[in-house]
Amino acid sequence: MSSSPVARLLLPLLLCAGALGFLSRCHGARAAEAPRYVTVSAASFKPGSTCRDPDPVAPRRNGTSAVLRLTHRHGPCAPARASSLAAPSVADTLRADQRRAEYILRRVSGAGAQQLVGSKAAATVPASWGYDIGTLNYVVTASLGTPGVAQTLEVDTGSDLSWVQCKPCAASSCYSQKDPLFDPARSSSYAAVPCGGSACAGLGLYASGCSAAQCGYVVSYGDGSNTRGVYGSDTLTLTATDAVQGFLFGCGHAQSGLLTGIDGLLGLGRLPVSLVGQTAGAYGGAFSYCLPTKPSTTGYLTLGGAASAAAPGFATTQLLTSPGAPTYYIVMLTGISVGGQALSVPASAFAGGTVVDTGTVVTRLPPAAYAALRSAFRSGMTAYPSAAPNGILDTCYDLSGYSTVTLPSVALVLSSGATLTLGADGILSFGCLAFAASGSDGGMAILGNVQQRSFEVRIDGDSVGFRPGAC
């Protein structure tokens, strides 16, 4: 019986992910070098009340890139116009996170993974850690229209269409935001997208008929939130020297669900309507981001740039795609180590690939992989009293009264031997092991934003690179 193209693609990757011995031979040098334990101050898990890095963007500006500052929406580094609404509870955050993860897994279920066979200057947009769409996501500030109006936008690698709330919008249809609603009538560069044109046809699954000859759009998110309105174009100013003329976006007139506070969303997915797709001619379709570890630190988002995912300092792996859900950036997880020791997980458990998603909070693993991780981690945490489970997180600890905490190290091994050795903030969050089981063995996993924090994640052509300690 001949094997399928997907099976032929995955076979070389899976041979290195099976038995412990195979993992040692394929990736052992990197996995074995990982530290066995990570000791940190217990205070480091607290959010902090003072911004420790007020502008990480300025040192990175150069002739080939423009960097936007990324900050936690509710933290001390947030811009003055960031949402003043109270942050959601941990329970609410985790419930919304579970809905998003389930939505992603439904979209990619049964689709398999295959090699991406195709995907100049640079612009970098600073981002902020936010709570929109119900999860711990990140925001950047950009300017829309002429004259420009500042907009605080969520950054999302798991969706494509960008949008902002627009006038006119009834109070019952638009949620509260701190910035004024964008008014297309006051922008000299705004143009409505007509029905029947190529731009309207390019909306694909986001299309929603016509309204007064204007092209309509609708986007539904994994947590049940949605936005709808008309499709238009205007100037999107990323920095003082970087502007996108004729940027296509949704002018939202009706939003519902868990959307609160932010002005809109900046889609960084893989379809042509995303910011990455629309600016591919200028920036080559490459981008990178660094998510801050906590609200008192900052990160950045960069479009283009001279460095590639294979540049020095990056652990690089192959970029895959799911034919049934082409929006997502997918890599192949092949192994996990805890305390410097590789876990024995069947190769078949990782066969579905792993979505790299800024909008999912905690990493989701196939059941066999999560069970092995949990068991090894618990064995290394016997010095600390356990605490009650917190929603989807079932391995939690009471660390009150401790001045320092020593955690077993956790490293994620990807195809080509790329290894992500996580910091303490990528291991423990909300007082719990920041991983959960979902789906089935052989199904898709999700690399959440907790585990991506402090890494520069660079997506360039057919590869994804991870550089530690970047913000």
- pLDDT attached to residue 15: 35
Annotated catalytic residue, options 97, 132, 156, 234? 156
Averaged pLDDT for residues 429-451: 91
The C-alpha angle 337, 412, 159, rounded to 5 degrees, equals 155
Range in 161-175, 335-349, 370-384 with the lowest mean pLDDT? 161-175
Per-residue pLDDT for 408 more than 80?
yes
- What is the DSSP code string of 129-159? EE-GGGS-EEEEEEEETTTTEEEEEEEETT-
pLDDT interval class at 365 (50, 70, 90)? very high
pLDDT interval class at 461 (50, 70, 90)? confident
pLDDT interval class at 70 (50, 70, 90)? confident
| Residue 373 contacts residue 336 (beta carbons within 8 Å) | yes
Q: How many CA atoms lie within 13 A of 286 on its CB side?
A: 23
Per-residue pLDDT for 196 more than 70?
yes
Please indicate whether the domains covering 5-44+306-467 and 66-82+120-304 agree at the CATH topology level.
Answer: yes
CB atoms within 10 A of CB 428: 26
Q: Which is nearest to 471 in space by CA: 355, 219, 301, 242?
A: 301
Q: pLDDT higher for 464 or 13?
A: 464
CA distance 14 to 420: 18
The owner of tokens 């709330």 is 165
- pLDDT attached to residue 72: 65
Q: pLDDT higher for 117 or 68?
A: 68
CA distance 203 to 389: 42
Q: How is the chain split into domains, by residue range?
A: 5-44+306-467, 66-82+120-304
The owner of tokens 């905490």 is 405
Per the annotation, the verdict on 357 as an active-site residue is yes
Judged on CB neighbours under 10 Å (0-12, 13-18, 19+), 59 is exposed
3-state SS class at 42 = helix
CA distance 433 to 134: 20
Q: Which residues are CB-contacts of 333 (< 8 A; sequence separation ≥ 6)? A: 17, 350, 353, 354, 369, 412, 413, 414, 445, 447
Average pLDDT, the chain: 80
Instruction: Please give the single-letter amino acid code of residue 272.
Output: P
CA distance 292 to 199: 35
What is the separation of C-alpha 102 from the centre of its chain, rounded to a whole number of angstroms?
Answer: 16
Give residue-wise pLDDT tens across range 245-278: 999 999 999 887 766 667 899 999 999 999 999 9
CA distance 263 to 176: 9
3-state SS class at 219 = strand
Per-residue pLDDT for 64 more than 50?
no
Averaged pLDDT for residues 389-418: 93
Give the bridge partners for 356, in sequence order: 329, 447
pLDDT interval class at 127 (50, 70, 90)? very low
Per the annotation, the verdict on 398 as an active-site residue is no
Give exposure, 218-239, as e/b (b: 16+ Cβ within 10 Å): bbbbbbebebbbbbbbbbbbbb
Cα-based torsion angle of the residue sequence 448, 153, 278, 460 in order, rounded to the nearest 10 degrees: -30
- pLDDT attached to residue 419: 95
Q: pLDDT higher for 130 or 187?
A: 187
- pLDDT attached to residue 65: 55
CA distance 382 to 435: 18
3-state SS class at 438 = coil
Per-residue pLDDT for 171 more than 80?
no
> What token pair was written down for 200?
């309207």
Averaged pLDDT for residues 33-40: 77
- In this structure, the strands spanning 315-318 and 463-467 are antiparallel
Tell me the CATH number of domain 5-44+306-467, given options 3.20.20.10, 2.30.40.10, 3.40.718.10, 2.40.70.10.
Answer: 2.40.70.10
What is 66-82+120-304's CATH topology? Cathepsin D, subunit A; domain 1 (2.40.70)
pLDDT interval class at 318 (50, 70, 90)? very high
Annotated catalytic residue, options 132, 223, 234, 357? 357
Give residue-wise pLDDT tens across range 278-303: 999 888 889 999 998 877 788 999 99
pTM attached to this predicted model? 0.84
- In this structure, the strands spanning 333-338 and 410-414 are antiparallel
